[in-house]
Amino acid sequence: MQLQPLSMIQPNPVTIRLAALSRSTCLALVCLVSAAAMLASPARAADLVVRYDQSQLLRLPRPAADIIIGNPSIADVTIQGGNLLVVTGKTFGVTNIIALDAQRNVIQDQRVVVERDDQRMVVLYRGPVRESYSCTPSCSPTITIGDEPTFFDTVLKHAQSKAGVSSGGATAPQQPSNQ
């Protein structure tokens, strides 16, 4: 059997028509699916970006009767005056908030992205060990998910102790006396 150069091979007209039909059918199918997806998903406002351990305000067009949080471990919401929401980032991730009126109609379905404020963060790596510091302007250890467990637990314990002292619920830890 002798091989022929590609330029000498005569294409089969049936194959070409089937290939063209397949491409046009695929294109039509893709357009149809895309149009259906666009019609099925309601238009949403831009993502609400909230920094970890910070809050953002979200003003609704009318007062809300109920608020649904997709993942309450990522963000928390407090209603202020009916149509003003305070959204607080609790941990990194993406969730959504659905506001309903008294008749259970959707006022807004808002996607919320909680991310780290990297502008004032310093992350120290010692091999596989990670420690995070908030530098505003001097650096202090901060509780950040993903830090080395012993460092995280120590910083968390100090933060809880400080919060207890601030709220009057606990006393400051006693320093051991050297006698």
Domains of the chain plus CATH, in order, are 48-115 (2.60.40.1080), 118-167 (no CATH)
Q: What is the pLDDT of residues 13-31, one digit of tens each?
A: 433 343 444 545 534 443 4
Q: Is the pTM of this model over 0.75?
A: no
* Helix or strand holding residue 86 (H, E): strand 84-89
| Torsion over CA: 148, 149, 150, 155 (sign) | positive
Output the pLDDT for position 169: 60
Return phi, psi of residue 36, to 5°: -65, -40
Rounded distance, CA 147 to CA 52, Å?
Answer: 15
Would strands 106-115 and 121-126 be described as parallel, antiparallel, or unpaired?
Answer: unpaired
d(CA 68, CA 75): 11
